[in-house]
Amino acid sequence: MRRHPRATPAPTGDCPWEAALDAIGEDLIIMGCLDPSIWVSGPVAGIGPALDRLITPRLRASRFVLAPFADGISVELERFHAIRDWLAKSR
């Protein structure tokens, strides 16, 4: 089995969230965010598909907190709206 040195999702890290759950257990509370190359500098239209890839059925069933960080940086309101729209469609 491959060891994952960092528990962060690709592309900034190399550990899928499910591997973190496998290693630490289902009681783990994961605070996760979108990769900055998508959340801050990628096209807004890429946010929904990135959430589709990030939030798998297993992750949805776990104790996962999506944390779209915007502390100290400028993030357009439409990016938060993209998350809101994705949540409305995925319920």
Average pLDDT per 10 consecutive residues for the chain, totaling 91 residues: 55 73 83 83 94 89 86 89 93 77
- The predicted structure's pLDDT at residue 87: 92
**Every domain of the chain and the residues it spans:** 17-90
pLDDT at 86: 95
Given its phi and psi angles, is residue 71 left (phi above 0), alpha (psi -120 to 50 degrees) or beta?
beta
What's the predicted TM-score (pTM) here? 0.76
